């Protein structure tokens, strides 16, 4: 599976994240409200630098652009799953607040799910237990809660996560 495809619809354009995206993506992430329910405060430059470096190293990170204006409005990422057969993880997704409300996130996830389901049978979303907004967004796109798990290596803060799964027939 290509973990950095180029995908588009009428709302968003997804493309591989590059080193050149750093400042534009930091400008998009530099809003404390985006991260208030997240264990990592990526609006703080040092946290964002670590997030961005991990994104580039992952070779699965995607820049999210507004299809009309071309503005960089967030990012997301694919990651091969460990412990689940024939699946991939989608995560690390954020959008600027101007694009909240479901329409854009739904579009991003639909593109990513459609691409993933060409290769795998299951997509997983790992969401911090306190991140209610992301849990609701996962449910909106058909995610089914399968378990809660401590993932101490995933974040330095708040290791307990909920794991949502979408099956290929979800779409």
Task: Tell me how long the chain is.
Answer: 171
Please state the φ and ψ torsions of residue 161, each to the nearest 5 degrees: -130, 155
Q: Residues of 23-35 as b/e, b for ≥16 C-beta within 10 angstroms?
A: eebbebbeeeebb
CATH T-level topology, domain 7-170: Aminopeptidase (3.40.630)
Three-state secondary structure call for residue 136: helix
pLDDT (tens digit per residue) in 92-109:
999 999 999 879 999 999
- How far CA 41 is from CA of 11, 21, 33, 95, in Å, comes to 27, 19, 10, 14
Q: What is the pTM of this model?
A: 0.89
> What is the rounded CA–CA span in Å between residue 77 and residue 60?
5
Give pLDDT, residue 150.
Answer: 56
Task: Look at residue 57 in the predicted model and tell me its pLDDT.
Answer: 97
pLDDT tens digits for 39-71?
A: 788 999 999 999 999 999 999 999 999 999 999
Residue 6: predicted pLDDT: 98
- For residue 71, give the 3-state DSSP assignment: coil
């Amino acid at each position: 599976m290509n973990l950095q495809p180029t995908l588009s619809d009428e709302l968003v354009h997804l493309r591989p994240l590059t080193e050149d995206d750093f400042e534009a993506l930091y400008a998009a992430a530099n809003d404390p409200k985006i991260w208030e329910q997240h264990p990592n405060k990526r609006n703080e430059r040092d946290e964002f630098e670590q997030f961005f470096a991990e994104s580039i190293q992952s070779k699965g990170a995607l820049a999210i652009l507004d299809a009309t204006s071309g503005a960089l409005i967030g990012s997301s990422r694919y990651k091969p799953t460990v412990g689940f057969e024939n699946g991939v993880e989608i995560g690390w997704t954020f959008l600027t607040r101007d694009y909240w409300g479901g329409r854009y996130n739904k579009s991003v996830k639909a593109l990513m799910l459609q691409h993933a389901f060409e290769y795998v049978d299951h997509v997983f979303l790992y969401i911090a237990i306190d991140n209610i907004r992301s849990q609701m967004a996962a449910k909106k796109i058909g995610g089914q809660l399968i378990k809660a798990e401590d993932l101490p290596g995933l974040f330095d803060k708040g290791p307990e996560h909920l794991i949502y799964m979408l099956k290929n027939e979800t779409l």
